[in-house]
Amino acid sequence: MPYDEQLAARVRGLLQRKRGVTEKRMFGGLAFLHNGNMIVGVSQNLLIARIGPDAYEDALEEENVREFDFTGRPMRGWVVIDEPGLVQFAAVKDWTDRAFDFVKTLPAK
């Protein structure tokens, strides 16, 4: 599964100045990690965001957002934002910021 290079570039631009952020190719996509913990991933034309369990239910109420079920079972605290929800740069920034704000609270791996 190739990933959307333009979406990845937008995310990269948002995270490149933050300490501890790295990129890693995973499962045919591109993941952005902070101290070893995944913040967001770009897979095809989708954004996968780790927003944490406290923000999870509210996020699922938003347009173009759904559960992340990579293993066939929903992963609480992770959401997928479909392409229509990523057209505006502000939306990509919002999801990336939400995910980073959660992940920076986690211990380094």
- What string of pLDDT tens digits covers the 109 residues of the chain? 589 999 999 999 999 999 999 999 998 899 999 999 999 999 999 999 999 999 999 999 999 999 999 888 999 999 999 999 999 999 999 999 999 999 999 999 9
- Domain harbouring 67, CATH code: 3.90.1150.30
Rounded distance between C-alpha atoms, residue 81 and residue 47, angstroms:
5
pLDDT of residue 14: 98
Residue 9 backbone zone (phi > 0: left; psi -120 to 50: alpha; other: beta):
alpha
Q: Which domain holds residue 81?
A: 5-103
Number of domains in the chain: 1
Residue 108 in any domain: the answer is no
Measured CA to CA in angstroms, residue 31 lies from 16, 25, 28, 42, 58 at distances of 13, 6, 10, 6, 24
pLDDT of residue 13: 98
pLDDT of residue 2: 85
Residues 6+ apart with CB under 8 A from 88: none
Residue 109 in any domain: the answer is no
Residue 69 in any domain: the answer is yes
Rounded distance between C-alpha atoms, residue 23 and residue 49, angstroms:
14
pLDDT of residue 1: 57
